Chains A and B, each alone.
Chain A
Amino acid sequence: MYKKPIIIACPVCDLIHRVEEISHGNNAGCSRCGAVLLRKKRNSVERTLALTIASLFTFVPASFSPIITLKTLGEIRSNNVFTGVYELFMGGFPDIALFVLLFSVIIPLIKLLSLLYILTPISFNISAPGSAYLFRMYLSVNRWAMLEVYLIGILVALTKLGDIATVIIGPGMYAFIALIILTLFISLAMDSNEIWTRIEGAA
C-alpha cells in the first residue's frame, strides 16, 4: 500500500497513471502499451544491502585472483582482468585498456560502493548527504557495467585455448561467477521507487 497514490507517466508512451496499491512482488503495467510502470519488492532495501555487501566481498578475489592459468611449452601464465588490461595498455592500446577496465571493474565497483553508501543509512531511516546525486549516477551508469559479457568472453577463451594447451580454472573464476550471480540478484531485489521515496522522506 502506498501512503498516497503515486501519479506516474509511462516511460514508453507517456500516458499518465494513478497507482494506489501494488502488492509485493507484482508490477503495475501501462494500460496502453504494457510497459512496466512500477514494481513493488519485498524488503528491497534490506535484501539489496545484504547482497551489495556480499558482492563487495566477492569483488576482491574476482578481480585479483587468477581466472585462467595456461600451461604450454613449459611456460605458465595466469590472467585476471588486470593482466588483460595491462597487456592491452603495453601493446599500444591504452584507450581500449581503459574501456575494458571501466566496463568490467570500475563501473561495477562504483555501483556497489554507491549502493552501500546510500542504503546503509536508509536502512536506519536516515538519508546520507549526496544520496540523491549518487543514486542518480547509479541509475545512469547502470547499463555500462558488463560483467556478464566478460564472463562469456572468458568461457570462449577457455574453450579456444583448451584445444591447444592445458587450461586450469583458477579461484578467480568462481569468485567472478559468484559476483555476477549476486549482482543479478541485486537488480532483481532493488526497488528504485522505494529508495527514492526513502531518500526524499528522510532528507
Chain B
Amino acid sequence: MTSIKMTASSAGLASCHICRKLCNISEVKKYQVAKCPRCGAKVYSRIPGSITRTWALIITALLLYIPANLYPVMVFEKFGRSQGDTIISGVEALINADMWPLALIVFVASIFVPLLKIISIIFILLSVQKNWSWKIRQRTKLLRFVEAIGRWSMLDVFLISIMVALVKLGSVATITAGAGVRAFTAVVVVTILASKSFDPRLIWDKQSNLDVPED
C-alpha cells in the first residue's frame, strides 16, 4: 500500500460518505448535486455547512441541558404524595441508598457524558475556526471518543421506561415520567446529530493549509 501525496479535495475528488468510493467532482457546477455512481448517495468534498450546522446543534443541546436537569425526570407517587426526582436528585438518592456503583453509572451516563460531549465539540469547533495546529491526532481521537459514548446517555431514558412499566402499584407506589425526560432525550439526540454533522477532515485541512471549500 502506498499513499498518493494529495488529499482528495485538492485532487478534485470526493469520498462518498456512505460507500467510500472516490468520485470525480471537478466537473460539478455550483448548484448541481453529485451522486455516487456506486450507492447513489450525495457526494460532497466536505459536509456542507459543517461548522455552522454543528454550532447550531451544539448550542441547542447546551440550552436544552438546563431544563433537562432542572425539571424532574421521574415522579414518584407514594400514598397520594407526589415527589419528583431530577437526574441529580436521582443520583443522590442512589448514593443515600448505598448503591454507589449505580449512582456512578447514572451520573456518568446522564450528567457527565452529555456535558463532556458538548464541551469537546465546542472546543474542537473553536480549534478549527481559529486554525490551531497543535495536537491534531488527539483532537481527532477526542472526536471519535465523544461520538462513540454519546448514545450511552440514553441509558436514563430507557431506565425510566422500565421503571414506569414495573412500579405501578396503585396509590401505594406509582412511578411516572416527568417533563425533564423530554428535554433530556432532546439533548442526547441533538448531540448525536451534532457529531454526525461535523466533518473530522476539517481538523486536518487547516493543518495542511490546502484549498478547501469554505462553509
Contacts and interface: CB of A to CB of B under 8 A. Distances in A.
B155 interface: yes
B95 interface: no
Contacts of B41: 136
B20 A8 contact: yes
Query: Lowest 5 A-B CB distances belong to which pairs?
Result: A153-B158, A84-B161, A9-B8, A13-B204, A14-B7
A7 B165 contact: no
Interface string B1-41: 11111111101010101111110000000000000001111
24 contacts: A9-B13, A9-B20, A13-B204, A15-B3, A15-B6, A15-B7, A17-B2, A30-B3, A33-B136, A35-B140, A68-B166, A73-B172, A84-B165, A87-B168, A91-B164, A96-B161, A97-B161, A146-B154, A156-B106, A159-B99, A161-B167, A192-B19, A199-B38, A200-B38
Given A96-B177, A136-B39, A153 B3 contact: no
A163 B99 contact: yes
A77 B7 CA distance: 59
A1 interface: no
B166 A70 contact: yes
A3 interface: no
Interface of B: 1-9, 11, 13, 15, 17-22, 38-41, 94, 97, 99, 102, 105-106, 136-137, 140, 151-152, 154-169, 172, 176-177, 181-182, 185, 189, 192, 196, 200-201, 204-205
Contact of A135 (B39, B159, B163, B200): B39
Contact of A153 (B20, B162, B205): B162
Nearest to A100: B161
B163 A16 contact: no
Interface of A: 7-9, 11-20, 28, 30-35, 68, 70, 72-73, 75, 77, 79, 83-88, 91-93, 95-97, 99-100, 103-104, 132-133, 135-136, 139-140, 143-144, 146, 149-150, 152-154, 156-157, 159-161, 163, 192-193, 196, 199-200
Nearest to A99: B185
Contact of A68 (B105, B137, B162, B164): B162
A88 B158 CA distance: 10
Contacts of B17: 11
Contact of A99 (B38, B94, B157): B157
Given A136-B40, A150-B158, A152-B105, A7 B163 contact: no
Given A12-B140, A14-B7, A100-B157, 4 more contacts: A144-B192, A156-B102, A156-B105, A157-B163
A103 B158 CA distance: 10
Given A12-B204, A136-B18, A146-B154, A84 B38 contact: no
A12 B200 contact: yes
A70 B3 CA distance: 60
B22 A8 contact: yes
Contacts of B3: 15-18, 30-32
Contacts of B99: 159-160, 163
A96 B172 CA distance: 26
Nearest to B189: A99
B13 A132 contact: no
